[in-house]
Homo-oligomer: A and B are copies of this chain.
Amino acid sequence: MKPIRPSIKDIAAHLNVSVTTVSFVLNGKGPEMRISEEVIQKILGYAREINYRPNQLAQSLRTGKTNVIVFMVEDISNPFFARLARIIEVIAYQKGYKVIFCSNENDDRHTGELLQVFRDQQVTGYIIIPSAGAKKQIKALLQEGVPVILFDRYFPELETNYVVIDNENATYQATKHLIGNGYRKIGFVTIAASQTQMVDRLKGYKKAVKEAKLRSRVLELPFGEDASEGEEHMRKFFEANPDLDAVFFATNYLAQQGLLVMREHFPGKLHAWGIMSFDDNEFFRIHTPSISAVAQPLEEIGSKLMEIMLDLLKNEKKALHQVVLTARLQERDSSQQKDVKSL
């Protein structure tokens, strides 16, 4: 039933030329190999006629290139990653690459296992958000010489390509924005993690608070907690700090949990407090009050990642690309002038 797909051999046989000639022509090396125009046209024409499509498996086996790019994130169902995936996908398919995606759940063992699988698959390139302790695995990958790009965070000690945003400056500016709008007792909710991006965000907050001679009030949630535990911690933190007048969530899921806590336990604060989140989100526009956020430039991150990837794939001598992009502060109602808000 399954129609036998024509192979290069069939073409050669039909046209009374050798497979070599066909292969050369099909790979655009006809002119280079000085194959006669007549033969070239004959082959191209027939290939089109029978709708010839090369067997990519065979091609890959031979060349060692699979044209598959892995996109590994913490959790593909996180809207931030999902939207990025979408952007990467579009560019990759345009350029003839396929994307395999996967979630490492921020777990080192899982990261290692997945990378093992992909190595077996001879994956062509990697775009990775590394889990906290994945330095060794990443290093091993680098040593194989395959293109690897980290993003969102990176290992300063490792000479890798990466695309990140200026987390420190972004939180610094956003915190200053809150201060500028009259907030003085700003809580910062983050997770206890040594990952560069979280460290930098905390740094930015502390810098702004210190400059304004305010006291920093940080809640560091234990790493790896589930949502309900996090919510419980936040509830206690808000309770223990009744004088807070603003809160800054260091990631979008922390904001999500925090908003829920506020809604359920401190409904009054929802409109009284200044609220700021890292990572923007469609729903922050819809929420009442609408939530101000540090918006990562998703399009830019995605296209930069692919631009670098394509460059690494093309050029034998691999340059080092380390890109820091600027985030944008999306001001909304939740961070409006304090006095105006509390009216």
Contact = CB atoms under 8 A, between A and B. Distances in A.
A160 interface: no
A287 B286 CA distance: 8
Q: How many of chain A's residues touch chain B, expressed as a range?
A: 35 or more
Interface string A268-310: 0010000000000011011110000000000000000000000
Contacts of A143: 1
- Counted per complex, copies of this chain come to 2
Given A60-B57, A79-B82, A103-B89, A121 B145 contact: no
B100 A99 contact: yes
A86 interface: yes
B287 A287 contact: yes
A27 interface: no
A330 interface: no
Interface in A49-97: 53-58, 60-61, 66, 75-79, 82-83, 85-86, 89, 93
B76 A77 contact: no
Contact of A1 (B66, B75, B99, B145): B145
A226 interface: no
Contacts of A75: 86
Given A58-B61, A82-B82, A86-B103, 18 more contacts: A53-B116, A53-B120, A54-B120, A57-B57, A57-B60, A57-B121, A57-B122, A61-B61, A76-B82, A77-B83, A79-B79, A93-B102, A93-B114, A98-B121, A256-B282, A256-B286, A286-B287, A288-B288
